[in-house]
Amino acid sequence: MQTLQRRQTHQVQIDHVTVGSDAPVVVQSMTNTDTADAEATALQVKELSDAGSEIVRITVNSPEAAAKVSEIRQRLNDMGCNTPLVGDFHFNGERLLQEFPECAKSLSKYRINPGNVGKGAKGDEKFAYMIRTAAEYDKAVRIGVNWGSLDQSLAKRMMDANLALAQPKAPEEVMKEALIVSALESAQKAVDLGLPEDKIILSCKVSSVQDLIQVYRDLGSRCHYPLHLGLTEAGMGSKGIVASTAALSVLLQEGIGDTIRISLTPEPGESRTQEVVVAQEILQTMGLRSFTPLVTACPGCGRTTSTVFQELARDIQSYLRSQMAVWRLQYPGVESLNVAVMGCVVNGPGESKLADIGISLPGTGETPVAPVYVDGERKVTLKGDNMAAEFLAIVQEYVEANYGEGGPKRRQGRVIPIRNI
């Protein structure tokens, strides 16, 4: 059993969700609906939440949006969804919080970008108003610095100081340092304004994998605030998934990161929930958390010339994921179930025996039968056109017997024990 060391941080409570130190790394997401459309936004938050997002951020960018936040919260409560909402504020946050106190109260956390609050004394006043509002309503704050909206006066100050050095650093190194300084100085200002340290989470998002790793390693070593991780503007499809996974995996393996978000650009018509699925899969494949039963499937090769194998692997995966909203409550521990769907006799029986339940489908030229293994033993052999439905019935039966009331595997998990440093 592997042991990962996590950074020791303050723990921040966001309603019922605990962030930091030995609390599980939290999955976050963000809506892309118009917040002024309360119905559409509440439905998307619910959809993200059902997919496994434990905190959802919504943009609060206008009076029309701010006016609908309490209605969104109420609609979610009415749907039985208690997922905390985070308000994403830029440019006019202090005005919206002042004019819409119900919005300020309904949110569980405010995200403040120090680069987009305002300049000089006016900016300081606006920042102070938002922090005091958070303190008054007992809300957490994420100070979220972003490469694309770095505080320009801070960047200029640091660039000028660098140029005065006998051996100036490369400009990009100064900019990375400026991101960290912006987050740390803003956090200190917030504390000085009366916000407790255990209400503060930090992030410093950039769009390059290597820069993100460098910035978060440095930031993590210089403070005890929980860190929200994410590669900003990760992009679409496999590029966004691979880049986010590469960056976050390195940091998570080093114990850095207390909440994560995968900033994927959805393909046209694609569900917003893809970013939640990817976040969960990163955490689960690293052995940090369990969310959904894993399907082990071989890639297929010249021995699997029909589509039966791919279809079954896909159907099993989507069936298991679709059941989780109910199974999570009914069958505690079922998220650690491991199912194998294999394409032929070469590795099929071996992998199937290692899984809780496995099916070894017939490859090209093999006898058209599919042995099913349960807990390492050959249980039954399926054949004919109804193999998929029959296999799903065996999976359902196994889940009920093992994770139902009194089942031997109920509440067992494969979460790696966490030790603080």
Residue of 221, 307, 347, 396 interacting with ligand SF4 (CB under 6 A): 347
User: Contacts with ligand SF4: how many residues (CB under 6 A)?
Assistant: 13
x/- letters, 287..306, toward ligand SF4 (CB under 6 A): -----------xxxx-xx--
**Nearest alpha carbon to residue 409 among 331, 299, 355:** 331
The two structure tokens encoding residue 33:
């609906």
Q: Which is nearer to ligand SF4, 316 or 342 (CB)?
A: 342
371 binds ligand SF4 per the rule CB under 6 A? no
Tell me if 223 is assigned to a ligand binding site.
no
Residue 215's contacts (CB-CB under 8 Å, 6 or more residues apart) are 176, 179, 180, 204, 206
We find the least distance from the C-beta atom of residue 301 to ligand SF4, in angstroms, to be 3
243 contacts 205 by C-beta, under 8 angstroms: no
Counting Cα atoms < 13 Å in the Cβ hemisphere of 305 gives: 6
Q: How far apart are CA 356 and CA 374, in angstroms?
A: 6
Residue of 363, 370, 372, 409 interacting with ligand SF4 (CB under 6 A): 363
x/- letters, 313..342, toward ligand SF4 (CB under 6 A): -----------------------------x
Residue of 219, 256, 277, 344 interacting with ligand SF4 (CB under 6 A): 344
393 binds ligand SF4 per the rule CB under 6 A? no
**Nearest alpha carbon to residue 62 among 42, 23, 91:** 91
Q: Which is nearer to ligand SF4, 265 or 306 (CB)?
A: 306
Q: Residue 73, class by beta-carbon neighbours within 10 Å (0-12 exposed, 13-18 middle, 19+ buried)? A: buried
354 binds ligand SF4 per the rule CB under 6 A? no
Q: Which is nearer to ligand SF4, 275 or 351 (CB)?
A: 351
343 binds ligand SF4 per the rule CB under 6 A? yes
We find the least distance from the C-beta atom of residue 350 to ligand SF4, in angstroms, to be 9
Which of 3-11, 60-68, 72-80, 343-351 is the region at the interface with ligand SF4 (rule: CB under 6 A)?
Answer: 343-351
Residue 209 phi/psi, 5-degree rounding, is -60, -50
348 binds ligand SF4 per the rule CB under 6 A? yes
Give the sheet arrangement for strand 109-112, strand by strand.
Answer: 200-205, 140-146, 109-112, 85-89, 55-59, 26-30, 259-260, 228-229
User: CA torsion angle for 265, 289, 327, 341 (degrees, to 10)?
Assistant: 80
DSSP letter at 21 equals T
Q: Which is nearer to ligand SF4, 27 or 340 (CB)?
A: 340
Q: How far apart are CA 180 and CA 163, in angstroms?
A: 19
We find the least distance from the C-beta atom of residue 337 to ligand SF4, in angstroms, to be 21
Binding site, by residue number, is: 298, 301, 344, 351
Binding site for [4Fe-4S] cluster, by residue number, is: 298, 301, 344, 351
